[in-house]
C-alpha cells in the first residue's frame, strides 16, 4: 500500500510542482489561468490511450504532431491475477472514446490501485505506465515575461465510426502576472564636482576701513561632503525581465537637497529589485558668482553668500544608491489596524 501511495504522490508531484501549467482536455469550459514565470513546459492530461497520433498541439503559432503509440485493448497480463474490478478499470481506460470519459476512468483505476498490495508491484507499475501514456509534456520554446498572454491550442483529428473526418479543438489562455516594467527606488545621490566646478566667493573685510569689502575667492575645498548629497528618486527600466535576479537597467533620476535641484539619466545595477547602484550624467544647479560682480570688486556692504552668488545649470557626473520596499514602511500592519479599530469601537 505504501508503494501505491508513493506512485500516486509522484504523479501528483509532477502535476503540481514540475508541471504547473496544466491543460486538462477533460474540461470543455475554457478559462484564463495565471501562470508563474518560472514555468518551462505545459502538461496536457487526459489524452485518449492509443490515439495520441490524433492530437496536435499549438503554443502561439507553433504546432507539433505527437507520434503514435500502441496500447493493447485487453487488460495487461501483469494484472491478470487481480480482482475483476481492476481489470475492468484498466480496459475502460484503454478503450475510452472521449477525454471526459478518460478522466473519470482514470479516477476509477486509481481507486482500484489503492486496493493492491505490495506483492502486485508489476501490476502497479503497469497501471502507472498506462496513466503516464495519457500525459504529454511539451517544453516552451521561449522564456516567460510579465504582461504576456499565452494562447495554447490543441486539436485532435480522427475518423468517426462512419469514416467521417472529424476535428476537435481545445483552446486555453494563460496570462503571466501584470506588472509595470519600471522599478522605483528611493535613495541618495552624490555629485563630486568634477565636470562643472565653479569657485565660490566671500566679502573680505578691509581692516583699515569698516565700510570697505573686497570680493575674494575662497581657498581650498569650498564645499562639504554632505552638501553634495541629495535625497533621490530613481525610475529604472531593466534590460531583462527576470524576477528575483540581478540585472542592468536604464535609470532616470531626480534629486534635491532642498536648496538646489538636479535631474539626469544613466545606468543602474539592480540587485534582486531591492537595491540599486547607479551612475550617469545629470544636470544640476551650481552656485556661481553673481553676474554683476567679479573677483576683486570693492563693495561697501558685507554681502551674504546668497547675495554674492546665483544658480547656474550645468552637467555633472553622479553616483547613486537606492532601496525599494515591497510595501509602505510607514503604514502599520493589518493586525495593528484591526486592534486600533477594535479599541475605537469599545
Model confidence pLDDT, tens digit, residues 118-147: 888 889 999 999 999 999 998 888 888 788
Cell (9 digits) for 307: 547675495
Determine the pLDDT at residue 263.
Answer: 93
Nearest alpha-carbon partner for 279 in 296, 293, 265, 260? 265
**Lookup result for grid cell 529604472:** 236
Determine the pLDDT at residue 334.
Answer: 45
Determine the pLDDT at residue 221.
Answer: 59
For domain 183-198+221-292+305-323, give the fold: Lipocalin (2.40.128)
The 3-state DSSP class for residue 255 equals strand
Q: Convert the pLDDT of each residue in 186-233 to its tens digit.
A: 999 998 888 777 778 888 888 888 888 888 888 865 566 677 889 999
CA–CA separation, 250 vs 263, rounded Å? Answer: 14
Going from the C-alpha of 191 to that of each of 51, 194, 199, 201, 226, the distances in angstroms are: 70, 8, 16, 20, 10
Provide the 8-state DSSP code for 30: -
CA–CA separation, 303 vs 299, rounded Å? Answer: 9
What residues contact residue 307 under an 8 Å CB cut-off, 6+ apart? Answer: 290
Give start-end residues of each CATH 2.40.128 domain in the chain: 183-198+221-292+305-323
The 3-state DSSP class for residue 49 equals coil
Q: How many CB atoms lie within 10 A of CB 264?
A: 23
CA dihedral angle for residue 11, residue 13, residue 16, residue 17, rounded to 10 degrees: -140
CA–CA separation, 291 vs 84, rounded Å? Answer: 104
CA–CA separation, 169 vs 202, rounded Å? Answer: 83
Determine the pLDDT at residue 194.
Answer: 80
> What counts of helices (H) and strands (E) characterise the chain?
6, 17
CA–CA separation, 55 vs 156, rounded Å? Answer: 4
Q: What is the mean pLDDT of the chain?
A: 79
String of DSSP letters for 155-203: EEEEE-TT--EEEEEEEEEEEPPP--S-EEEEEEEE--SSSS----EEE
Determine the pLDDT at residue 120.
Answer: 87
Provide the 8-state DSSP code for 26: T
Determine the pLDDT at residue 60.
Answer: 63
**228: alpha, beta or left? (left if phi > 0; alpha if psi -120 to 50):** alpha
String of DSSP letters for 296-324: T-EESS---HHHHEEEEEEEEEEEEEEE-
Q: Cα 159–162–164 angle (5° rounding)?
A: 45
User: Which residues does the chain have with pLDDT short of 50?
Assistant: 1-19, 61-74, 329-330, 333-346
**pTM of the predicted model, to two decimals?**
0.48
Characterize the bridge pairing of strands 62-65 and 136-139. unpaired
Determine the pLDDT at residue 103.
Answer: 92
Cβ–Cβ < 8 Å for 283, 253: no
Cβ–Cβ < 8 Å for 302, 203: yes
CA–CA separation, 326 vs 330, rounded Å? Answer: 12
Determine the pLDDT at residue 242.
Answer: 65
CA–CA separation, 140 vs 118, rounded Å? Answer: 38
Cell (9 digits) for 32: 484564463
Going from the C-alpha of 256 to that of each of 73, 152, 259, 283, the distances in angstroms are: 78, 50, 7, 12
Determine the pLDDT at residue 30.
Answer: 67
Amino acid at each position: 500500500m505504501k508503494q501505491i501511495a508513493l506512485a500516486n504522490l509522484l504523479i501528483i508531484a509532477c502535476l503540481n510542482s514540475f508541471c504547473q501549467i496544466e491543460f486538462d482536455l477533460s474540461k470543455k469550459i475554457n478559462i484564463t489561468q495565471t501562470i508563474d514565470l518560472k514555468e518551462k513546459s505545459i502538461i496536457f492530461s487526459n489524452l485518449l490511450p492509443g490515439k495520441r497520433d490524433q492530437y496536435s498541439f499549438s503554443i502561439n503559432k507553433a504546432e507539433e504532431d505527437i507520434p503514435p503509440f500502441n496500447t493493447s485493448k485487453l487488460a495487461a497480463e501483469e494484472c491478470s491475477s487481480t480482482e475483476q474490478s481492476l481489470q475492468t478499470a484498466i480496459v475502460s481506460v484503454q478503450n475510452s472514446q472521449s477525454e471526459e470519459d478518460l478522466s473519470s476512468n482514470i479516477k476509477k483505476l486509481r481507486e482500484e490501485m489503492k486496493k493492491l498490495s505490495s506483492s502486485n508491484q508489476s501490476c502497479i507499475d503497469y497501471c502507472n505506465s498506462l496513466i503516464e501514456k495519457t500525459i504529454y509534456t511539451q517544453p516552451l520554446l521561449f522564456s516567460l515575461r510579465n504582461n504576456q498572454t499565452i494562447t495554447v491550442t490543441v486539436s485532435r483529428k480522427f475518423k468517426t465510426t462512419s469514416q467521417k473526418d472529424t476535428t476537435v479543438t481545445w483552446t486555453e489562455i494563460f496570462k503571466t502576472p501584470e506588472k509595470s516594467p519600471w522599478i522605483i527606488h528611493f535613495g541618495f545621490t552624490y555629485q563630486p564636482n568634477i565636470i562643472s566646478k565653479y569657485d565660490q566667493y566671500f566679502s573680505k573685510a578691509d581692516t583699515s576701513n569698516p565700510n570697505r569689502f573686497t570680493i575674494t575667492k575662497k581657498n581650498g575645498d569650498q564645499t562639504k561632503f554632505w552638501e553634495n548629497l541629495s535625497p533621490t528618486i530613481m525610475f529604472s527600466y531593466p534590460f531583462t525581465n527576470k524576477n528575483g535576479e540581478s540585472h542592468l537597467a536604464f535609470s532616470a533620476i531626480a534629486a534635491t537637497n532642498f536648496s538646489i535641484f538636479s535631474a539626469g539619466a544613466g545606468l543602474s545595477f539592480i540587485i534582486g529589485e531591492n537595491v540599486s547602484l547607479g551612475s550617469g550624467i545629470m544636470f544640476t544647479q551650481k552656485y556661481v558668482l553673481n553676474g554683476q560682480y567679479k573677483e576683486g570688486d570693492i563693495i561697501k556692504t558685507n554681502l551674504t553668500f546668497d547675495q554674492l552668488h546665483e544658480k547656474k545649470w550645468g552637467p555633472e557626473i553622479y553616483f547613486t544608491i537606492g532601496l525599494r520596499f515591497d510595501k509602505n514602511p510607514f503604514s502599520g500592519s493589518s493586525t495593528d489596524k484591526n486592534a486600533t479599530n477594535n479599541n475605537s469601537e469599545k
